[in-house]
Amino acid sequence: MKKTQYKTTGLANQVLSKPGFALICASVLISILFFSSCKKDFDVINKNPNGFTTASDGALFNSVISSMRSGWNEQLYVNVSVLYKETQLAALPQVRWNNYTLGTEEIWSNYYTMLPNLRELERRFETYDASNPGVKNMMAMEKIILACKTFKVTDLFGDIPFSEAGYGFSNLNMLHPKFDSQESIYKTLLNELKWAVENINIQATGEEPFLTFRKFDNLFFGDLKKWKKFANSLRLRYAMRMVNKEPALAGQIFSDIFENQQEAFGINAFGQLNNDHTECAALYPYQLGYRNESKGWSFNQSKDMRMGTTFWRLLSKHDSTDGSGIFDPRAYYFFDTNNNNKWIPYPNNPPSGTPDGGIPYEYHRDLNYSIKGADCLYSPVNYYLARDMDYQPDILITGAEVLFIRAEAYLLGIGVPKDLGNATSSFLDGIQFSLNFWKQVMTASRLPLGAPFSNNVSVPQNLNFISVQNNLAFFTGTEEQQLREIYAQCMIDFFRQPQEAFALARRTGMTPFDGVPSQVYRFPIPPTEVSYNASNYSSTFGASGDNMNTKVWWMK
């Protein structure tokens, strides 16, 4: 089905681009997409017209948790085809913007399909006993998930419908919600996260209605301490993201968490590195009872993603193809050798006519791992990252990211006194966390027929935290060089989080990049929303404000 959709929609995009055909073809295409995608939903509604409002609180919440994993089209048309190249996390021989709307439509639909579930939960919570600490826990969990999902969408698109969105099922006047400014969305969500942190009661777990509700928690499985850490971790991420526009507010959040020694992922109650180097918010397929087939499909369809020269320079001190210059074990976790067992990066700024081919992402490698095809001249992404359907997580946020944020805050004195000692220890702790996290993930990885990572990849024993630390210029560099080192380590850790890498590159303009940095700052609002919510769209973006080169609010 996905391959057919790719070809059909690609043709439709070509036709729509021709003057004179756009209006007619758009109407036909939207009609086809509407009736083909909604038929299943109509069947469900006809069988149970009250299914939405009669679902239990836990069932509604569980459906939202499940929706947080990346979709098929999101992974191929947004992540693999666009953002890896735009951020230079990897290299692609050609630009793949022609079908990106398939991915953005899926992201948009995912969010606005799940938003009514969260609004319905909010409505129900208003009728419950607000003094019940278990109810407050449920309210806090809902606010945290709403914030996580909403931040993701607004960071990709900028201004989006929010304050009036998701209420159409109960209020027909809100079927066409207004667009809210990204600034107002950020400030609202950060306040909600603060409320969640202050109202989670870790001891209130044994009474109804929370006792039943927690059974539907497929993210932290009822562990309220982790929910609280998740909320604080998100507060830190998005405070830092808006630091260029709201330095005082961002500083208040850093001060509140760091100075008061609040816990977050990677940081314990004493403000020190947590010994659990896998602490994160992530969706592991094996825990949630599904197999992530979409990831392997996205690499298989793209075919030619390769390790780029930008990333290679972060992992190896010279270009020897035997790998003798590699000092970071994440080179082995994220990438592979070419068809001749050589480490060769593809140029991020390639001269014309720099081909690559082969079959490094074809499923035959489940049985014949070494066969990448005679034309696979450059190093591909590690096949386990693409093909493992059970143990590779959809990462929401990790302790490594939190520690790098802490390092930046203390290096620059944002909300806390400038302290190079704290900045250095946080930076090194972040590297340690990332190395341990990815070692744990890759050690657990399996191909569909069961072959573990260690069966096919041998990571040299001399590659470890010490080898990484010894090849960094953090200790002797200027403040700007130290800042760039922090951002570089963030980008390495973000290898499977291209949307977070995209945000970091846009915020700082200082992430590693070969050539002229990307001028893409956001994705346009998906065509279905433009058509459906035309009046509010036009009043927000005007005649020409909805383009890729328009900066989002929090950018410089």
The pLDDT value recorded for residue 335 is: 98
The answer, yes or no, to whether residue 78 has pLDDT greater than 90, is yes
The pLDDT value recorded for residue 245 is: 98
Measured in residues, the chain has a length of 556
The pLDDT value recorded for residue 19 is: 30
The answer, yes or no, to whether residue 301 has pLDDT greater than 50, is yes
The pLDDT value recorded for residue 269 is: 60
Question: What is the chain's mean pLDDT, rounded?
Answer: 89
The pLDDT value recorded for residue 277 is: 65
The pLDDT value recorded for residue 126 is: 96
Query: How many CA atoms are closer than 13 Å to the CA of 300, on its beta-carbon side?
Result: 15
The pLDDT value recorded for residue 356 is: 84
Q: What is the mean pLDDT of residues 469-486?
A: 96
* Prior bond of 351 cis (ω within 30°): no
**Run of H or E including 36:** helix 22-47
The answer, yes or no, to whether residue 270 has pLDDT greater than 70, is no
Q: What is the mean pLDDT of residues 327-339?
A: 98
pLDDT digit string (tens) for 279-297?
A: 899 999 999 899 999 999 9
Alpha helices in 158-260 (DSSP H): 182-199, 210-213, 224-241, 247-254
Fold entry, domain 50-293+390-541: 1.25.40
The answer, yes or no, to whether residue 16 has pLDDT greater than 60, is no
The pLDDT value recorded for residue 354 is: 79
Judge contact between 282 and 394, C-beta under 8 A. Answer: yes
Q: Which residue has the higher pLDDT, 49 or 451?
A: 451
The pLDDT value recorded for residue 94 is: 72
pLDDT digit string (tens) for 167-216?
A: 998 899 999 999 999 999 999 999 999 999 999 999 998 899 999 999 99
pLDDT digit string (tens) for 353-387?
A: 777 899 999 999 999 999 999 999 999 999 999 99
The pLDDT value recorded for residue 353 is: 72
The pLDDT value recorded for residue 21 is: 28
The pLDDT value recorded for residue 271 is: 55
pLDDT digit string (tens) for 428-440?
A: 999 999 999 999 9
Q: What is the mean pLDDT of residues 122-148?
A: 97
- The C-alpha atoms of residue 88 and residue 350 are separated, in whole angstroms, by 12
Residue 24 burial class via C-beta count within 10 angstroms: exposed 0-12, middle 13-18, buried 19 and up: exposed
The pLDDT value recorded for residue 276 is: 60
